[in-house]
Structure 1
């Protein structure tokens, strides 16, 4: 599973690194609504939540589905307005001005992303503002998510202008309440990281820059396709004539462990990457490796073998005797564990002894959490 970005023929100068205050505000709101996703931010989320005006906190609940379980693309408006620079503005006010320039059809589709994923339908989609059937589908999907989502969707479809005013005022009030001070502290570090990665791109090439961004990103030898290792399938292009070419990498302090890839058709692709990712003893495994490991451990007999292998090294024949199965059967199970990187084998004279790699098994928990949230 992965998201791929077609960059064939893209001018390297159109690959940019830049902070986005609006995207970071989205991630800050997400951290406030989902503190369990971000234990490293516990002090900030607790202090900020405690200091919020109750009226503002209630207003945030009205639209928290735009940042709670998914991230509405309206927070990267710079990527969805044709004819623009394709880059984030330097200030939150500037980015909100870009959002104001987005047409209603695109704004509504992006705002409804939380309940209606037609935005990511490669075949295109009718606007729920203009097509009665599309409107009914959007409202039915919203109703399935709960009454607050349905109420918001009805307001949005009946009067998108009023909702746009409401949303801008809400984000401006968040800026005044807590985000302006937070952004003042974070922006210099994000700008420095963007400059560093841009320089790395110029001096050492795209592969080196992607490696510095995230181990989940890679590029093929022909420099035609970037692949993001995520538990989702998706494709996009950085050379779409409808919106303009370009690919932007946006850093975030609030984002870990989320590595986001905006890949909606008709939008410039954006990679939203976390800064300050904790450095494990070894790089996090790929989604494919994680799946292979979980499948390896799901078999009842391999679970029993792991019980023994976790305690001491065993030979194939010893395990066959303990569990009453044939040596070839044991070998097949051990081969699966070995391919999944969960077992060590070492020679002791004429014998091969096998033992579970406890460190690799222990990582499955954290790798699983990072993989599904990435």
Structure 2
């Protein structure tokens, strides 16, 4: 499984390594919402959380599906600008201006990505225009609770007002904690971007991609970049460019923006936190046995990012509900799942803290 980027005809000068304050703010919000994904950031998370105004913390929960279960493409709006060659802004304000330039259809579809209701790497109906897509998005939002349903309803009913709400929220996050964090991180990120640029100029794309991650390779014969991930996707640079965007807060997430019609982006981590000590041999044996089935390992990719019902997992993985239930039972018996009830829905999610104890290779594999 992999995400492939067709780079046929891509000119060297259209490949750009560049930093993005908005993308890093998105990763900051993700780390605050899912600290288990980022054991090396516990000190930073604790400090920021302790200093958060209660009103801002409440607003952070209102739309946390934009950054908790997945990294929404709204944090990389430059990729959606027509022409597919726009670069990130030098400041957060400039990038928020780029976010304002996305059409309502682009913004809503990117914000509803968490529902898995819309085609991603191929053309499809827009939720604002298609009644079936809208209904499906709201149905899946309901499975994640009344707060996410309410936000989705607001988004579909009045995207202009919701976009204004989000911009103000991001500006308030910048004032509260991110401006200080960015002032400390941007020099390290800029240095890495310069290093990638130098590799591109002196040694070529293959060497630059190898320095991004061992999971990223160049298939020169096929004119494509292959990103090894527990998932499938395809995109192409076409007549646009390719962006390499480093993150300090995002490890272990190596992400590929491959939304149809958008400029491809490789969003890669540059630092490595220390993980927890390994579990007992008995516990390790039980857990590795549960993960030995390839379907269960594939399910872990979904469950690491969000909580899902049995029915949703059955639809995502093309299996029956009883088959999914048997795999969930094996993972739960090994102590790798958390389960909670919300109304008539039972939601299952991977315990990433427990998985982290299996070792960094497996954790990075499913979160990549």
Q: TM-score of the superposition, structure 1-length normalised?
A: 0.75
Deviations 1:220-245 (A, max 9, x none): 13371100011010010011xxxx51
SS in 2 for 1:127: coil
Contact 2:120 2:258 in 1 (8 A): yes
**What residue number does 1:237 align with?**
236
- Number of matched residues? 294
- Specify whether residues 276 and 365 from structure 1 end up closer, same or farther in structure 2 by C-alpha distance, changes over 3 A only: closer
In structure 1, distance between residues paired with 2:291 and 2:245: 37
SS in 1 for 2:87: coil
- Specify whether residues 117 and 86 from structure 1 end up closer, same or farther in structure 2 by C-alpha distance, changes over 3 A only: farther
**What residue number does 2:206 align with?**
207
Question: Larger RCO: Structure 1 or Structure 2 (Cα < 8 Å, ≥ 6 residues apart)?
Answer: 2
In structure 2, distance between residues paired with 1:255 and 1:157: 29
1:278, distance to aligned residue in structure 2 (A): 5.8
In structure 1, distance between residues paired with 2:272 and 2:213: 9
- Specify whether residues 191 and 159 from structure 1 end up closer, same or farther in structure 2 by C-alpha distance, changes over 3 A only: same
SS in 1 for 2:5: strand
1:246 is the counterpart of 2:241: yes
1:134, distance to aligned residue in structure 2 (A): 1.8
Unmatched 5+ stretches in structure 2 = 276-287, 294-355
**What residue number does 1:30 align with?**
30
**What residue number does 1:21 align with?**
21
In structure 1, distance between residues paired with 2:358 and 2:81: 41
In structure 1, distance between residues paired with 2:173 and 2:76: 17
Contact 1:115 1:145 in 2 (8 A): no
**What residue number does 1:74 align with?**
74
In structure 2, distance between residues paired with 1:20 and 1:59: 23
Bigger Rg, structure 1 or 2 = 1
**What residue number does 1:266 align with?**
261
Question: Where in structure 1 do 4 or more consecutive aligned residues deviate above 6 Å?
Answer: 294-297
Contact 2:3 2:231 in 1 (8 A): yes
SS in 2 for 1:8: coil
SS in 2 for 1:118: coil
In structure 2, distance between residues paired with 1:22 and 1:109: 19
Contact 1:109 1:119 in 2 (8 A): no
- Specify whether residues 164 and 10 from structure 1 end up closer, same or farther in structure 2 by C-alpha distance, changes over 3 A only: same
Match of 1:366 among 351, 355, 360: 360
Contact 1:20 1:88 in 2 (8 A): yes
